[in-house]
Amino acid sequence: MKPLTKFHKILLGVGAASGVVTYYCLNNNSNKKVYASWTTSYEPSKHAKWNENWDHRSPKHCVKPRYAKDEKEQNKINKEIELNKAKSVRHIILIRHGQYNVNGQSDEQRTLTKLGKIQAGYTGKRLKELGFPYSNLIKSTMSRAQETGTIISNSLPDVPVLNCDLLREGAPIPPEPPVGSWKQEMHKFYTDGARIEAAFRKYFHRASPQQLEDSYTVLVCHANVIRYFVCRALQFPGEAWLRMSLNHGSITWISITPSGRVVLRCLGDSGHMPPDVITSR
């Protein structure tokens, strides 16, 4: 065996010293932390970041901006922010209408089929079984939604019923990817889209500070409207709305927490119906 050169001896010395230092650091660090490798340099894309003030009701944005000159002034600002905080959850339950006569030449003729009425009946029973303290039931003014809402109301006779033109079916935004069979005129997207967006802003927001109990609002409307609402509420691109499918009479449940965070509890649930009555087109 060849004798070690001076250079090799230096390398061995450095290696031994580094080993001792490593052992000491691993065994004498009282604040040990373990990080998942992907988290150390992870930064979400700008499209993935959550906008806390999406409904323009974030407490700190509800207070007139001003500079706090001292601690007393800062405490006053903090108190105002606290007073503007929501205290309860708003639950939005979205119901797609039942199957209807697609061959009708006008809205008045596009009424529920016999099967559509059966589907609405099952949905009404399911909402009753859930036993939530519903605040109100709001119906689109289109015939198929009106009929569906009326049948549901038979199971919820004590829930106030309202009508809303903003919830009518329409084309919210050009879908991505484009669909060849979707041949809407561009002006249709602009007119319908503005209306459906107005409906979203009307019904989707955190509770007011004065609301002390959780609320449950039922919206009886349409597939395109519901799919767009889901995308907007979750801060997904609105153009993704056509990537989802909803059955007739299905239940979609969204909760808006006091912090403004949004939870999709279920999407297009039709498990309350027997398989032989489930349809989507």
Is the separation of the CB atoms in 73 and 237 below 8 Å?
Answer: no
pLDDT in tens, 157-172: 999 999 999 999 999 9
Cα(275)–Cα(278) distance, rounded to whole angstroms? 5
**CA distances (Å), origin 258, targets 55, 77, 201, 213:** 12, 19, 17, 11
pTM recorded for the entire structure? 0.81
**CATH class for the region spanning 90-277:** alpha beta
pLDDT in tens, 193-245: 999 999 999 999 999 999 999 999 999 999 999 999 999 999 999 999 999 99
| DSSP 8-state class, residue 215 | E
Q: Which residue has the higher pLDDT, 207 or 61?
A: 207
Q: Residue ranges of the domains in the chain? A: 52-85, 90-277
pLDDT of residue 21: 47
